[in-house]
Amino acid sequence: MANLNGFNASEVDPNVGFEPIPAGKYLCIITNTQMKPTKNGTGEYLEIEMDVIEGEHKGRKVWDRLTLKHPNEMTVRIARSTLSSICRSIGVMAPKDSVELHNLPVMVSVGMKKREDTGELTNVIKGYAAKRDAAAPPQSVASPVNGSTPPWKR
């Protein structure tokens, strides 16, 4: 038994559960990181918790897992490449501790996939980009002539 004296449910909005956020690009900050052992105990992954910081889904959380220690070299190479993308996107090139990645804006590309165990949809991280890159025009856009202001800067 637990003492709940002083709690009044009519004073607190109920938790209605959360559906995955729609696939898209979201400005986020990393709020928590933690090394954890893999399920089979042969490696370790960095769990990255991120908060969406603007838009309709502000306040929602997304997670990524980077298996940085594992007998499979390809698994580690992929995780290290993803960590490199995060570091480059937020401008911290040689972090000594994962806390150095916290609270810096990063554009996160979020997708959706079905969970193998339940078949339910869940979010999956597809990639990272610097905040400034998200608003930049595509490289194939021609420069304006006569010194006019390009449409993406108006």
CA angle 104, 134, 132 (to 5 degrees): 55
138-153 per-position pLDDT tens digit = 433 333 444 444 333 3
Quote the CA–CA distance of 154 and 152 in Å, as a whole number: 6
Convert the pLDDT of each residue in 78-128 to its tens digit: 999 999 999 999 999 999 999 999 999 999 999 999 999 999 999 999 999
pLDDT of residue 57: 95
Domains, in order of start, for the chain: 20-132 (2.40.50)
The arithmetic mean of pLDDT across residues 45-56, rounded, is: 97
**HSE-up of residue 133 (Cα within 13 Å, Cβ side):** 17
Q: What does pTM read for this prediction?
A: 0.77
* E strand segments, the chain: 24-37, 44-52, 61-69, 105-114, 121-129
